[in-house]
Structure 1
Amino acid sequence: MLSKKLQLKTIDYKSVLTICFLLFFNSILSAQEVIKDSVVAQLPVEAPSGQKLKIDGIIANVGDYIVLDSDIDKAYLEITGQGGSVKDISRCQMLGKLLEDKLYAHQAIQDSIIVSDAEIRGMMDERLNYMIQQVGDINKVVAYYKKNSVEEFKTYFSDILKEQKLASEMQKKIVDAVEITPEEVRNFFKKIPASDLPTFGAEMEVAQIVVEPKVSKEDKQKVIDRLKSIRQDVLDGSSFATKAVLYSQDPGSSPNGGFYKMNRKTSFVKEFKDVAFSLQEGEISEPFETIYGYHIIMVEKIKGQEVELRHILIAPTVPEEALKDAKERISNIREKIVSKEISFADAAKTESDEKETRANGGTLINPNTQDTRFELTKMDPTLYGQVSNLKDDEVSQPLLTADEKGKKTYKLITVTNRIDAHTADYAKDYTKIRELALKEKQIKAIGKWFDDKIKDTYIKIIGEYKNCTFTNNWLKK
Structure 2
Amino acid sequence: MTLRSGLRSVALLLLGTVPGVIRAQGGASGQIVDRIVAVVGTTPITASQVEEQLALMQSEGQQLPSDSAGRAALRRQILTQMVEDELLVQQAQRDTNLKVTDREVQDQVEQTVQNVRKQFTSGAEFQSQLRAAGFGSEEEWRRWLADNQRRSILRDRLLDELRQKGKLRPIPPSEAQMRTFWEQNRGQQSKRPASVSFRQIVITPKPDSAAKARARQLAESLVVVLRGGADFADVARRFSSDSGSREAGGELGWFRRGRMVKEFEDVAFRMRPGEISGVVETEFGYHVIQVERVQPAEVEARHVLIAPVISAAQLALARRLADSVHDALAGGASFDSLARRYHDPNEPKLADALPASQLPPDYLKAIGKESVPGLKPVIAVAEGTARARFVVLELIRRLPEGEFAFEDVKDRIRDALSQRLAEQHYLDLLRRTTYVDIRL
- Structure 1 match to 2:12: 22
On the 8 A contact 2:41/2:435 being kept in 1, the answer is yes
* Separation in 1, partners of 2:76, 2:271: 51
* Separation in 2, partners of 1:62, 1:317: 58
For CA contacts below 8 A with separation 6 or more, give which structure has more relative contact order. Answer: 2
On the 8 A contact 1:249/1:315 being kept in 2, the answer is no
**Structure 1 segment 40-439 matched on structure 2, within 5 A:** 41=23, 57=34, 59=36, 60-63=38-41, 65-87=43-65, 88-89=70-71, 90-112=74-96, 114-117=98-101, 119-120=104-105, 123-124=108-109, 126-128=111-113, 130-131=115-116, 134-135=119-120, 145=130, 146=135, 155-172=143-160, 177-179=167-169, 188=174, 206-212=198-204, 232=225, 236=229, 249-250=243-244, 257-263=251-257, 266-292=258-284, 295-300=287-292, 306-312=297-303, 314=305, 325=316, 328-329=319-320, 332-340=323-331, 342-352=333-343, 354-356=344-346, 363-364=349-350, 374=352, 381-382=358-359, 389=370, 391=372, 394-401=374-381, 409-415=389-395
| TM-score normalised by length of structure 1 | 0.60
* Separation in 2, partners of 1:109, 1:179: 22
- Structure 2 match to 1:36: none
Residues 232 and 93 of structure 1: CA distance in aligned 2, closer, same or farther (over 3 Å): same
Q: How big is each residue's C-alpha offset from its partner over 1:68-119, in whole Å with a ceiling of 9 and x where there is no partner?
A: 4333333233323333222355333222222221111112222445143265
Ranges in structure 2 where 5+ consecutive residues have no aligned partner:
26-30, 184-191, 399-403
* Separation in 2, partners of 1:321, 1:436: 48
Amino acid across the alignment from 2:301: R
On the 8 A contact 1:299/1:310 being kept in 2, the answer is yes
Mean CA deviation greater in 251-260 or 108-117: 251-260
On the 8 A contact 1:241/1:310 being kept in 2, the answer is no
Shift of 1:18: 5.4
Residues 336 and 162 of structure 1: CA distance in aligned 2, closer, same or farther (over 3 Å): same
- Structure 2 match to 1:3: none
On the 8 A contact 1:220/1:316 being kept in 2, the answer is no
Amino acid across the alignment from 1:26: G
- Structure 1 match to 2:434: 457
Residues 80 and 303 of structure 1: CA distance in aligned 2, closer, same or farther (over 3 Å): closer
Aligned residues: 398
* Separation in 2, partners of 1:319, 1:135: 48
Q: How big is each residue's C-alpha offset from its partner over 1:232-283, in whole Å with a ceiling of 9 and x where there is no partner?
A: 5686385x689889987446996995332434xx242122123214434431
| TM-score normalised by length of structure 2 | 0.64
CA RMSD of aligned residues (A): 5.6
Amino acid across the alignment from 2:13: L
* 2:302 aligned counterpart, secondary structure: strand
* 1:299 aligned counterpart, secondary structure: strand
Shift of 1:448: 3.9
* Separation in 2, partners of 1:93, 1:259: 36
Mean CA deviation greater in 171-180 or 159-168: 171-180
Residues 177 and 321 of structure 1: CA distance in aligned 2, closer, same or farther (over 3 Å): same
